[in-house]
Amino acid sequence: DIFLRSLGIAHVVAVLEPIGLARSDGKKPDGMTLVVTFVP
């Protein structure tokens, strides 16, 4: 994906599917809170 490559060139970490969304019971979450952190 060109968007992910552009972020990689800018040294920005991008994840297509965040870890922890897959569940063993087959249910899917309806939303997820994203926390943005800045590490210098």
Q: How confident is the model at residue 39 (pLDDT cuts 50, 70, 90)?
A: low
Q: Check if the beta carbon of residue 16 is closer than 8 Å to that of residue 8.
A: no
Q: How does DSSP classify residue 26?
A: S
Check: CB of residue 34 under 8 Å from CB of residue 40: no
> What is the predicted pLDDT for the residue at 11?
82
CA distance 20 to 4: 20
For position 6, what pLDDT does the model report? 82
The candidate with the shortest Cα–Cα distance to 33, out of 23, 22, 25, 20, is 20
pLDDT, one tens digit per residue, over 9-20 is 888 777 666 666
State how far the Cα of 9 lies from the Cα of 6, in Å rounded to an integer.
5
Q: Is the pTM here over 0.95, yes or no?
A: no
Does 35 have pLDDT greater than 80?
no
